[in-house]
Structure 1
């Protein structure tokens, strides 16, 4: 998928009014016990769903009515409507505003993937069940493609000035000049939306860059281990240290490199993935089963759209690397990855995990320079800061990709599961005190 196709999936940034609506709906989601009451084994599940959906809608509308501009909207609508049509008009308005609120939350999640960790999943389950009940509160996510189509200026995406102006790396002064040129060319057709479109694309490109940066740093560090030298051997043996397969140094280097490049490709296509998971989750033709997957009871359903995007990313990665090591099986819609929400949640955590690793490795030298006692502790136990750094990275490249995930850990999902397992065992590592000295609290992105 080329850059222009990726830009078409970029969501539009929330306006000030939309942020208030978003906060109201999120508040309703946070107090809702929908998942606790619905995703359990019960006799009359349909009645339970209907009751919980009605309760959630009541909470949402109460939150929305608490906002001044929402009340003003309703009053204006009722003034324009005769007495005979007030009930119908009010009901229609409520449905319209609730639908708008749900779209705003879905759009916000795409823009900020690390936020709404639990409330987004709850919203998707509610919308999924409402769709099955033929109670439709869905509207397409407002994207760059929609905004440009509305203005009749889709050619803007092909303009080199536009792509240059939305490059996060250019200086602010140069960007201002480019934006002024774009305003002269497209200002009459796009109008006031041009700034919103530009800021949305810049936000998206900066977010993707931020997500890819820690993976690219780790990939760069991997190059230090490319050649087999003393202290840089990446070979692993089945049965040693939890390893589920045996790899020579060259095989393990290629295996880790393949995995990191695949994760970068997935991060670059994240907006496409968000669109595909909603296509699957909110498709009334794709029903789910509530089953015990071995990781508790979860919703299991087919994921054709998400699978297509995942296969596209895998094919793109395999084309760009020199040789593929391990399985290329993608688990989706099975007991390992039961639904697309589980899939997307796994890969939104990759930048958090690797970002924390990068932060620790980068911070070691700063801590040693600031505190002589820290330098002394590291030197006594590991020889030097560089030796400690090499030990951490070597351990990660070996035992973070040791096959401890599913399918011997070499499948697409198993590679990430192996990294999770390494994170869960971090307290047992000899270098764990270094992590604590550098302010480590966890791999989930929270302090």
Structure 2
């Protein structure tokens, strides 16, 4: 597929508003899966995981971005030469580790184009793995994407003889290539891909769901197996779809739970002076909202994040496409936070405008700025965009777990401490929620209005700023006592 075809395919995966925001509707499940499968990556197989380890090891020991992302080069040609040197060094290292004899031949011949397909597969595996494991790879993923991005530059590609881009293998494309798209329309698709959650249920109930799921998988595999696709391959696709459901639950559930908690503990029309959500410059806020306005501002922001998390696979796919788009070149700019690659993100902008439009229609009236920063000093490129929004579950999950731990807390010593210091569990919960709603959405987190404030990504900047200051809060010691570690899992 060319870039334009991929763009249309990925954008079409964003669900229309007529479909539910969750995937629990039996009636719409086949339609949901058919749409989502266009951007859901296929699970890595055993041999692919071996190649992934080679790629990660090679990238971990290189300093590519530190070397090429600098403003010290006196000419573009010198930077291109450094890019080629860095890329070929890593490619040669991967080949030597994979096949020593072929690696030796490659070092002698310098004919990297001969192994173009192999190298494209390796880098596609790394990108595919990252989408399904956003907490893995860390800075290595940035190097990986910048390697692929630089290989698309005309000067580099001309000297290398090829580029490292290959579209991420999705369930839709996998089934389409094997003439098996009917799998996605099977009525058993819901049971075959559902995530089974314990949720305090009995073991017998859980076992019953597991058996139902296994039977559904086998039914679909048997029904659609043919000369072009095996039962095992169908099972692998179903497991990949099931992985995506787990992924969505992990990313969306904390947002949905927090929205419920806000609604249960606060009212826009009833103001308790002790738990007022009003903010102004007197308490360090960059926004000025009364209780009513701040209540709706927070809920609108959380609802927007819920919609974004629901479309996160589409945004990942578009992010990958933006960074590797040869028609949109990046520019190195020092934005006072380091040298960044500033690159326009037209496709992500279209997707975000659709999501924002849906959030605004749901809200009725929108509070704050609706500016979407993309391809500027605030959000330089698609890599920084997707990394920024993957912070949502990292911030909200520990917070929700803390509230749930409070609800189930039975440690008498700790309960006595909470009663003495904070007036009880419910009082503490509401105090933490109030603090988060006030200072996590106050427009702070940057030294100018362009990078923070009430714009779309500025709301997340404020929340991350609150998370970074959590150690200064009076209730921080209770968070530690109930198992809190950090907002990044470290």
State whether TM-score is above 0.5.
yes
Unaligned runs of at least 5 residues, structure 2: 1-13, 16-31, 198-208
Q: 1:64 to 1:311 in 2, by over 3 A?
A: farther
List aligned pairs for 1:6-405, cutoff 5 A: 6-43=36-73, 44-65=78-99, 94-132=115-153, 133-134=156-157, 135-169=162-196, 171-188=209-226, 190-191=229-230, 192-224=232-264, 225-227=266-268, 228-230=270-272, 233-367=275-409, 369-370=410-411, 372-405=412-445
- 2:11 aligns to what? none
Secondary structure in 2 matching 1:173: helix
How far off its partner does 1:338 sit? 0.6
How far off its partner does 1:14 sit? 0.4
Aligned CA-pair RMSD = 2.2
**CA deviation vs aligned residue, 1:182-214 (integer Å, no higher than 9, x gap):** 123202253231001100000011111111111
How far off its partner does 1:104 sit? 0.4
**CA deviation vs aligned residue, 1:336-391 (integer Å, no higher than 9, x gap):** 00111111001111101111111222223545x12x33222222211111111110
Using the alignment, how far apart are the partners of 1:383 and 1:10 within structure 2?
Answer: 47
Using the alignment, how far apart are the partners of 2:473 and 2:211 within structure 1?
Answer: 48
- Could you tell which deviates more after superposition, 416-425 or 309-318? 309-318
Using the alignment, how far apart are the partners of 2:50 and 2:37 within structure 1?
Answer: 26
Q: 1:240 to 1:6 in 2, by over 3 A?
A: farther
Using the alignment, how far apart are the partners of 1:60 and 1:159 within structure 2?
Answer: 41
How far off its partner does 1:438 sit? 2.0
Q: 1:92 to 1:295 in 2, by over 3 A?
A: closer
Secondary structure in 2 matching 1:160: coil
Task: With the length of structure 1 as denominator, give the TM-score of the two structures.
Answer: 0.90
Unaligned runs of at least 5 residues, structure 1: 79-86
How far off its partner does 1:91 sit? 5.2
Secondary structure in 2 matching 1:97: helix
Conservation of the 8 A alpha-carbon contact between 2:419 and 2:425: yes
